[in-house]
Structure formats: structure tokens, C-alpha cells
A and B are shown apart, each in its own frame.
Chain A
């Protein structure tokens, strides 16, 4: 089961089954202690961040840069999907995929937050022209 962990040196927060051996922020070894979700939330709340459409665009470009996929070169499609993602964040709290629908089970629905783990989906896996279900990400051509 995933838990929250806090670096006792720099307050880096990690959410996972086990803590990182080395804190990626301050590089101290064995620095993480398990904390409650309430404490983790409070620590994170001290650094309020917002993400604009442009920020998100840059984030997904950076995310796909070192991967086998890229953001779809079809700019019109990308703009429509960004409209949907930001509408869903505004209306439903998270950037849910505009081409799927939540079930009401948060654990399941977290699988629909963009970017999702589309590498295992039938629309991408083992397909030369693979893409995620909505088409925001497509396999990079050699």
C-alpha cells in the first residue's frame, strides 16, 4: 500500500510503497520518515502552485522528450484535448482524459488522469502507429 514519506532534511514529500534511498532534492541518504496524509498535504500546501495551459504543454513535451512517444504533431487535436483536460480539471478536480469517463471509484479513476499509463493499452502496445486512447501521445517515428 502506498504511503506518504517526508525527507527530514528538506521536507521533500514522496508518495509510494517505499521511500527513495536518496532524496532527489537534497541528495541526503536514508532521509525519509513515514508521515500521515494530513501532514503531507500540509507540507505541500506551503508551496501553492498553479499550472497554466502553457505550463502543462511544456510539461508533457518534457515528459515525452526522453521517451519512445511524442505529443501528437496534430496541433488542432492537441488544442481540443487541452480544452477537455482543463475543463475536466475545473469541473471534476483532475485532468481526466476527455475521451473516457470516470466511474466514481477514485482508485480506478486515477488511471484516467492525463498522462495515463497508455503504454500498456491496446491502442498503443505493439502497434507501430500506436497512440493513447485520446491521441494526445503518439509513438515517435524513427
Chain B
């Protein structure tokens, strides 16, 4: 299983809405996400920026949160989505 990343921001309501869905998925499917906060941690912000060319085209041309990312395959899921959609995306990464 590839390492999956969730780029999120502390004061982003979409990210807050996604957190319980991510945690449920982690518990049910034994999938782990690296949850990286990007507005209060410059190292995480720089990491997200380093993937800009891959992330931005999938996210309206910008770096947006939340963004789910598989660095091994460059597969990206952007924004607040249903649990089912998140699960479908994550299982595809297996």
C-alpha cells in the first residue's frame, strides 16, 4: 500500500468535515494517511508546494485543502467529498 497524504488546514471547514471520514476509513480499511497541516507548518506547506505541478491541475489550478494525494502514483483527490468517494479513491491506491 502506498503512503497516502492528506494536506489540510486547521481553520478549513472542508478539512474539518473530512477528518471523521478519514478516521473512519483508516479504522475500517486499515489505511493510513499522513495528515499534514499546511498553514501552521512551513515544512508541510513547502512539501505541498513541491507537488504543485501535480496537485494544482486537479484542484482548479491552485493548491487547495483538503487534498488527498498518493506521491507514488501522483493520484489526487481534491476537496470535500462523501465517505464513499474517499473510500473508492483510497482503495484504488492499494
Contact = CB atoms under 8 A, between A and B. Distances in A.
Nearest to A116: B62
Most interface-central of A77, A84, A101, A123 (chain B CB within 10 A): A101
Contacts of B64: 99-101, 133
B9 A122 contact: no
Contacts of B60: 121-123, 133
Nearest to B9: A98
B38 interface: yes
Contacts of A101: 7, 9, 38-39, 45, 48-49, 62-65
Contacts of A121: 60
Contact of A100 (B10, B16, B62): B62
15 contacts: A77-B13, A81-B13, A84-B39, A85-B11, A87-B39, A98-B12, A100-B65, A101-B45, A101-B48, A103-B49, A103-B62, A111-B62, A121-B60, A134-B13, A135-B13
A140 to B, nearest CB: 20
Contacts of A77: 13
Q: How large is the interface on B (under 10, 10 to 19, 20 to 34, 35 or more residues)?
A: 20 to 34
A85 B38 CA distance: 14
Contacts, number: 67
Contacts of A83: 11
Most interface-central of B9, B38, B62, B63 (chain A CB within 10 A): B62
Q: Which 7 A-B pairs have the closest CB atoms?
A: A84-B11, A101-B63, A98-B11, A99-B12, A83-B11, A77-B13, A100-B64
Nearest to A136: B13
Given A84-B39, A87-B40, A121-B60, A134 B12 contact: yes
Interface in B38-64: 38-40, 45, 48-49, 52, 60, 62-64
Contacts of B62: 100-101, 103, 111-112
Contacts of B15: 99
A92 B9 CA distance: 14
